[in-house]
């Protein structure tokens, strides 16, 4: 996966590549599709949700510029795979999922593999996580109509947020750096994510 999908597409951060070689992606997908776990695609994880394509996980993680001691907030735990990759690369990871069945499964999986620095919370992630704020990095792994204001408020000055932003069925991957209280945005690759559903996201 790393040699055939990530390096040829330009992922260069050695720490990201090492983390993605290490995290057992097959343990985060349902057993009936485990043989496809390392394929170049998103896969279903139940509840009409998906585990993102490996390349999308890699580029989003690379854009976060993690050095090792950051406090990271992820919105959209899903399978827990992205949280595991983040837990390899950062200090503490808080990950929010709105569907409790997925959150419970991800929580057990992350604990079983030994990611004690990954904390799963069931909530509407569009509101962020005031109790643990501010965050050095925020990653949204569901499609947002715009970056929710509470997440910008909960990002540290100089911090980075990465998110797919746009229409319900097609988005652009955005990286924003908070400077003097506002996000300075860069546009990266087109992408398609399941919707971010919540108070500051899509309705239902």
Cis amide linkage into residue 134, ω under 30° from 0: yes
Identify which of 167, 132, 169, 168 has the alpha carbon closest to the alpha carbon of residue 151. 132
Beta strand 135-140 with 155-166 is parallel
Nearer to ligand SAM, 93 or 142 (CB): 142
Write out the residues near ligand SAM by the rule CB under 6 A: 49-52, 75-76, 78-79, 81-82, 96-99, 102, 124-126, 141-142, 193-194, 196-198, 201
Nearer to ligand SAM, 99 or 183 (CB): 99
CA 146 to chain centre: 16
| SS3 of residue 6 by DSSP | helix
Nearer to ligand SAM, 76 or 150 (CB): 76
Could you give the CA distance from residue 138 to residue 158 in angstroms, rounded to a whole number? 12
Nearer to ligand SAM, 176 or 198 (CB): 198
Quote the least distance from Cβ 180 to ligand SAM, whole Å. 28
Quote the least distance from Cβ 71 to ligand SAM, whole Å. 18
Quote the least distance from Cβ 9 to ligand SAM, whole Å. 18
Catalytic center residues: 52
Query: What DSSP assignment string belongs to 80-104?
Result: SHHHHHHHHHSSEEEEEES-HHHHH
Is the Cα torsion angle 52, 53, 59, 62 positive or negative in sign? Answer: positive
Nearer to ligand SAM, 101 or 157 (CB): 101
Could you give the CA distance from residue 115 to residue 4 in angstroms, rounded to a whole number? 27
Contact indicator for 87, 105 with CB cutoff of 8 Å: no
Contact indicator for 97, 83 with CB cutoff of 8 Å: no
In the numeric block, which tokens belong to residue 94?
């808080």
């Amino acid at each position: 996966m790393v040699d055939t999908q990530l390096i040829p597409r330009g992922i260069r951060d050695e720490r990201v590549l090492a983390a993605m070689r290490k995290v057992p992606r097959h343990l985060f997908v349902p057993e009936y599709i485990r043989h496809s776990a390392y394929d170049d695609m998103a896969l279903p994880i139940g509840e009409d949700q998906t585990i993102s394509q490996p390349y999308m996980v890699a580029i989003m993680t690379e854009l976060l510029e993690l050095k090792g001691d950051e406090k990271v907030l992820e919105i959209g735990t899903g399978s827990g795979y992205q949280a595991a990759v983040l837990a390899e690369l950062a200090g503490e990871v808080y990950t929010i999922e709105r569907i409790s069945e997925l959150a419970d499964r991800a929580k057990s999986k992350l604990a079983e593999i030994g990611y004690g620095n990954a904390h799963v919370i069931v909530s509407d992630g569009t509101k962020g996580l005031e109790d643990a704020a501010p965050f050095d990095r925020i990653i949204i792994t569901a499609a947002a109509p715009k970056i929710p204001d509470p997440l910008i408020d909960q990002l540290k000055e100089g911090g980075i947020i990465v998110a797919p932003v746009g229409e319900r069925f097609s988005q652009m991957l955005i990286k924003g750096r908070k400077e003097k209280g506002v996000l300075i945005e860069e546009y990266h690759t087109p992408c398609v994510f399941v919707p971010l559903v919540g108070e500051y996201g899509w309705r239902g």
